Structure 1
């Protein structure tokens, strides 16, 4: 039985540790935050991910999953998997401080794993730099393997066990085989390549998906100008097998921890290397503009927003997660507050402990958020919102009973019958 260390108990690291333990590997997860460890050993996860808490509890009960603050506990293990954060800086650069600290700790504690697996998303070319800086001219003979993750928040467990592909980048066949063996009983194509190419796969994949989102939003904006409806347009376009229907839903744009960070990071890297990635710059610009466009739609319908009461339904960047990072809803709320609007909001799952100080009223349910509002913005397509008693909601609001459907998830005709002024994204 292989013994594995996973460095970092964040989103990627904790999912990896729990899934590897379920696959009957012995896993120790190293986490610097003792408070987080105290919660994890009690079976409590610091964020919401469907099915993850059950895996955590099962791993603890089987004693195949352990947590520690001490890097020395990794000594003698075959595989060390790095899954620490690489957040975006203001200028788009990737903050690699946690990566460098892990590499220094590996050297300081003389861990000498057979294979160092990089799960964290790092800029293409970093792996080769780390090898030269930390692993070259060393007695440890540690092989470096890039193994980018493609986990979707809300479906991470499914994506671990049923991936579209497993990407491995490295120089040594035996090291690649060792990492491949970690994905036991997982049926998926294994694509092997050099380290830098594997790093590029992650960035290229996220940049392409972000491009599809911004593209369909631009088509939606054009639909409004020519009198077309984006919903049937996107449906028909997506039926083309060369294109596919995923990520072709017009709305407020992408958010979360991956797409914004990775598009900015790739753009910065391109500039650093002397390449002007005009397409990617446009993708980022379009995504930013979608939030402004939503506020403009409110202004067009309400006139001045000063003194208007506007409710926002949904704070997470998408359903089935509590993640509010880069959330379109929060950006829209900032715009509304700057315009002098009174804002109420509700989300069934948002991690409000991570909310910065913002002067809006966070409500306990959707009806409270709608009470007395001139307009409601549907910012996250939670099923709870789509299935609301909208007739009752209308009675709680005040004229002009405006609904801005930022996700095109409601039936426009039904909303009009109920007395709402319905506005969608890219809709007639």
Structure 2
């Protein structure tokens, strides 16, 4: 099939490359000419494991990019809206980018004969596809939804760092359409993937995405709440959760306690669902607590630090891990950010290391020292905070020997204290 992808960010780039791998003809649409050139040269505009190989394989063959909406719509049957949906200052979803994409898409559709399908893949609150996208498309195309064009919602369930794998090996595919014809044609795109397609309406598909992420975020905050209690009781919460996770009704996934969740999805999506609930005059106390626990968790790291080193003013603190999780360079909502901000407020000297995310973090903090290795960051440090679960941090050993004061605060259970030298003071966040 012929597919156009509006937006070449995280979701758009991965979707485009994977649809091309499935044999479809794909056109990426982006107003950023640099991204257009990169994609046409086989260079992904974001880092994601396996993405570069797919783009190099399909670039200028069955995967091209353009900034011309008219060309893309005339040469495709289905268009996916994959633009960003950031939170506004109140935590509610900002649909301005979606709105602009719909206007441009509608004007291009006005010049096209024949049936065209529009699929929303951006994460939007329930009701957006039918109450906002549909009307904008009708207004700017002068066409009628369900008659002249199809409309569907097809949420993504991709883990950053493993997005290509998740796209090609999904555990669920959800298509919410306004009519059976649209659902059938969108579902056909995924025919070669071994996964049943859940067919529903757009509003339900939108809700599935939010509930999915909010439940996972709830599991994390629940585990962190339990972990904070276990810490005060001298209990290893990981031992507790390992046993709890054996219950098939619970499973072991997303029960790891630590510094909290971040990234482009969980924080934003939970806040957006909270905002939507309040619009409906309902106060979502549980979801509010999920966010509150997550916001407080990094502060627990700082409090443990102060308990072990006292006033941090003038002291050198090494922060290992800047990305919100391992295997990505994404720092959005990284738990390192509030920790570093607190350290700077208290007058600490911060040295930092991350295998991939340092360049992005420089845009947030200019006045900290970025190092090329863990050893460099630890050299001369009065304490160390481990914030991201990079595999290489599990192997840290002799690197601690260069510290001035050997205090290690572990926010991700990366270090086995039994393997450390006796003169190292080790504190786990929830264990």
Shared fold per TM-score greater than 0.5:
yes
Q: Where does the alignment leave 5 or more consecutive residues of structure 1 unmatched? A: none
Q: CA deviation at 1:41?
A: 2.0
Instruction: Determine whether 1:201 maps to 2:203.
Output: no
Q: Does 1:411 align with 2:416?
A: yes
Q: What does 1:214-233 correspond to in 2, within 5 Å?
A: 214-233=221-240
- Equivalent residues in 2 for 1:156-305 (5 A)? 156-305=163-312
Structure 2 counterpart of 1:138, from 138, 143, 150: 143
In 1, Cα distance between equivalents of 2:427 and 2:232: 14
Rounded Cα–Cα distance in structure 2 between residues aligned with 1:414 and 1:377: 18
1:3 corresponds to: 2
DSSP-derived class of the 2:400 partner: helix
Q: Match of 2:119?
A: 117
Identify which range, 354-363 or 20-29, moves more after superposition.
354-363
> Does the 8 Å CA contact 1:323/1:351 hold for their aligned counterparts?
no
1:39 is displaced (CA, Å) by 2.1
Q: Deviations over 1:185-240 (max 9, x none)?
A: 10112111111010000000000000000000000000122221111001011111
- Residue 73 (structure 2) aligns with: 75
TM-score of the superposed pair, with normalisation by structure 1: 0.96
Indicate the larger mover: 32-41 or 51-60: 32-41
Contact 1:151 1:159 in 2 (8 A): yes
Looking at structure 1, the residues matched to 262 and 360 of structure 2 have their Cα atoms a distance apart, in angstroms, of 19
Q: Which residue of 2 aligns with 1:338?
A: 345
3-state DSSP of counterpart to 1:407 = coil
Q: Look up the SS of the partner of 1:236 in the other structure.
A: helix
Q: Is 2:383 the partner of 1:375?
A: yes
Correspondence for 1:422 among 409, 417, 426: 426
Matched, 1:66 2:64: yes
For residue 395 of structure 1, what is the aligned residue in structure 2? 401
Match of 1:128 in 2: 130
Q: Shift of residue 75 of structure 1? A: 2.9
- Normalising by structure 2, what TM-score? 0.95
- Alpha-carbon distance between aligned partners in 2 of 1:46 and 1:177, rounded to the nearest angstrom: 31
CA contact (8 A) 1:168 1:192 kept: yes
Equivalent residues of 1:75, 1:111 under 8 A apart: no
Give the Cα–Cα distance (whole angstroms) in 1 for the partners of residues 49 and 335 of structure 2: 22
Q: Which moved more, 1:253-262 or 1:67-76?
A: 67-76
User: Where do 5+ consecutive residues of structure 2 fail to align?
Assistant: none
Q: Distance in 1 between matches of 2:400 and 2:412?
A: 19
Q: Distance in 2 between matches of 1:79 and 1:418?
A: 62
Aligned to 1:87, the other structure's residue is in SS state: coil
Deviations 1:10-38 (A, max 9, x none): 00001011111111111100011011222
Poorly superposed stretches of 4+, deviation over 6 Å: none
Q: How many corresponding residue pairs?
A: 421
Give the match for residue 384 of structure 1. Answer: 392
Q: How does 1:139-154 map to 2 (within 5 A)?
A: 139=144, 141-154=148-161
CA change 1:229–1:49 in 2 (3 A) is same
Secondary structure at 1:344's aligned position in 2? Answer: strand
SS at match of 1:312: strand
- Give, in angstroms, the shift of residue 351 of structure 1: 5.5
Return the alpha-carbon distance in structure 1 between the equivalents of residues 305 and 26 of structure 2: 51
Tell me, yes or no, if the aligned pair for 2:230 and 2:430 is still in contact at 8 Å: yes
Equivalent position SS for 2:409:
strand
The alignment status of 1:95 with 2:94, answered yes or no, reads yes
Q: Tell me the distance in 2 between the aligned counterparts of 1:316 and 1:422.
A: 23
1:362 aligns with 2:360: no
Query: Would you say the 8 A contact 1:316–1:324 is kept in 2?
Result: yes
CA distance in structure 1 between the aligned counterparts of 2:422 and 2:35, rounded to whole angstroms: 47
Aligned counterpart in structure 1 of residue 332 of structure 2, from 325, 331, 335: 325
